[in-house]
Structure 1
Amino acid sequence: MHALKQRVSEDLRNQVIDLRRRHSLRAVATMTGLPLGTVKTLVSRSGAFRDNDQHRALFTLPTIRVSASTAPAVQVLPSQQRVTGDKEVDALLWLRSVIATGQPGPIATALEAAKKIKTPLKELEGRYTAFLRLTNPDNPFATFSSIGFADLEALASKSVRDQALRVEGAARFGDSLFANTDAEVFCIKAMDGLQRRGSMLDYDKDEVATRFHARPDLMPRTLTDCLCELKYWSHLYWLRNVVDIYGSDGPPESTARDWFVFGLLAEIRPRDKTEALAVFRYLVASERDGMAESESILCNLIG
């Protein structure tokens, strides 16, 4: 290492690290005129391309704590009600309300009971749609609630998933699910005084980047760091969304941070094919592969 310090100036060392953030090791060697082995050594010893443990600690959800208050409670089944006057439609409405409890036992019973209904469920969906249209003649959106009325399997899957998220949110946060997390507080402080130009997403991207780059200790160093943070924001959103659909976005500063980190997927070079593949899978699974940044991200992944 002593010999390496003699041969490479601090400025050149910093240049190598900066170039490596956007280019392959071989490309950095060509651009700087350094041997490939020297570039590899400089990059490895810098530690700049290892996962950032301090960043990871901030963007990690609280540990799940199981208690009597967060354990699933015994559900009281909803009472049957006369809603439409059509016995079969009302029976299906009741089965849907049972499924909506999110409890596996009652859901399984409800799905079995639905199989005993002689009329095709799609026909009952049509009858329910007609009822909504008749009773809400001035509301063109009234029939929207009948969409998927007959798809009990989809409702069951969503109900179980939502219930699991509700239990997880309580186990991780207790009564503080909607309080700003340490990560959100960091974003708010980092962007203090930065004015929005319009909508809640309308911050100047360069100004946002400048604010977050000013805290290098909490910057993602690798694509894996980026994916971990993006997963954090997504998971936090869904934990809140299942409880309150209108209170799940969090502060606008955290939304700006999420998009900033998403943009870093186009800037930080993948360390290997496995990391590149993980980013590609994230793009597809998150349905962000159609975003404006996606082409740049894909170009970054393939070099």
Structure 2
Amino acid sequence: MRLTTEQKAEIARLKRSGVGYRTIANKMGLKPSTVSSFCQRSGLFADNPAHKVLFTIPEARFSNVPALTKALPPQKVITGHKQTDAYLWVLEVIKLNEPAHLDAAEVALEKLTISPKDVEKRYRDWMVANGADILQAAFGTFFMDDPQHYLKLARENIRKASEVRAVFGSYEAAMEPVEAELLISRSAFLVDEDFGLTREEVADGSISGIERYLELDDARKDAHHGFTDVLPSPHTLSDVVREFDYWTWLYWI
């Protein structure tokens, strides 16, 4: 059976609204096989190839080995207590996120005779004695009694950096806009940073309250219209999930 243009449009409309083949067929007096055949052959309900190319997370193409090894920081006399200062220095080494130094730093921690709790107390006392208030001292010693926190964080940062190098090749390349961002930059729906702000908010350079922030965020999303003038539209739920995963990956990487 040859479908008319109007029938094709109505089938497409109903299918996009979530109606099944059999229900559409009964509603329009058609065979379910006719409806399913049209939907499958039309390409309207298959993934959008252009969308898939743009929003597929890229595979690793480069070496993930760092080109250079970061130099060790100089050892300093801070509190004047050798074990405390040694502990602080090892934490500084860990925070370099340098694979070549991390294992040695962990071994060095095990060799120190002072406990992390004692370091935390000594360093907090030293901060207060040198003019820091209680709040500054508290934040300045946050997690200091838990070296595993810093080691775990360093390993995670090293993993992320390795992924960036493998995909982009370098930090500089990773900071360049991806193709989707370049397209968005040319969208007629793109609004400037002051969009929706009052004169007072522009002058202050800030907005007040979470409700106001969410109000502006919603207004900008509405104004952007999903950048449909430059980005390929998703045809399927798979396309939608793929794009969401891509932007999430790009944000966290």
Question: TM-score band, normalised by the shorter chain?
Answer: 0.7 to 0.9
Structure 1 residue 201 corresponds to structure 2 residue 217 = yes
Distance 1:194 1:156, change over 3 A: same
Q: CA RMSD in A?
A: 3.4
Decide which of 69, 74, 85 is 1:74's aligned counterpart: 69
Match of 2:45 in 1: 49
Q: TM-score if structure 1 supplies the norm length?
A: 0.62
Deviations 1:164-208 (A, max 9, x none): 433543551643433332211211222446462136735344443
Match of 2:181 in 1: 184
Deviations 1:243-271 (A, max 9, x none): xxxxxxxxxxxxxxxxxxxxxxxxxxxxx
* Structure with the greater alpha carbon radius of gyration: 2
Counterpart contact for 2:62–2:169, Cα < 8 Å: no
Distance in 1 (CA, whole Å) between partners of 2:53 and 2:147 is 40
Distance 1:132 1:12, change over 3 A: farther
Distance in 2 (CA, whole Å) between partners of 1:83 and 1:36 is 79
Match of 1:271 in 2: none
Counterpart contact for 1:84–1:131, Cα < 8 Å: yes
Distance in 2 (CA, whole Å) between partners of 1:104 and 1:135 is 34
Q: Which has the higher contact order (CA 8 A, sep 6+)?
A: 2
Match of 2:242 in 1: 228
Structure 1 residue 17 corresponds to structure 2 residue 12 = yes
Counterpart contact for 2:97–2:154, Cα < 8 Å: yes
Match of 1:286 in 2: none
Structure 1 residue 238 corresponds to structure 2 residue 252 = yes
Match of 1:91 in 2: 86
Decide which of 114, 119, 122 is 2:109's aligned counterpart: 114
Q: Secondary structure at the match of 1:218?
A: coil
Distance in 2 (CA, whole Å) between partners of 1:128 and 1:31 is 77
What are the within-5 Å matches in structure 2 for residues 19-34 of structure 1?
19-25=14-20, 29=24, 32-33=27-28, 34=30
CA drift of 1:149 comes to 1.9
- Name the stretch that deviates more: 53-62 or 165-174: 165-174
Match of 2:207 in 1: none
Counterpart contact for 2:63–2:165, Cα < 8 Å: no
CA drift of 1:27 comes to 7.9
Deviations 1:131-181 (A, max 9, x none): 334434358445324222233233223223323433543551643433332
What are the within-5 Å matches in structure 2 for residues 271-290 of structure 1?
none
Counterpart contact for 1:16–1:28, Cα < 8 Å: no
Q: TM-score if structure 2 supplies the norm length?
A: 0.72
Deviations 1:99-151 (A, max 9, x none): 22323342122222222333332342233334334434358445324222233
Distance 1:100 1:72, change over 3 A: farther
What are the within-5 Å matches in structure 2 for residues 99-178 of structure 1?
99-137=94-132, 140-141=135-136, 143-170=138-165, 172=168, 174=170, 175-178=172-175
Match of 2:201 in 1: none
Q: Secondary structure at the match of 1:166?
A: helix
Decide which of 196, 219, 224 is 2:233's aligned counterpart: 219
Counterpart contact for 1:83–1:90, Cα < 8 Å: yes
Distance 1:144 1:13, change over 3 A: farther
Distance 1:234 1:146, change over 3 A: farther
Match of 1:40 in 2: 36
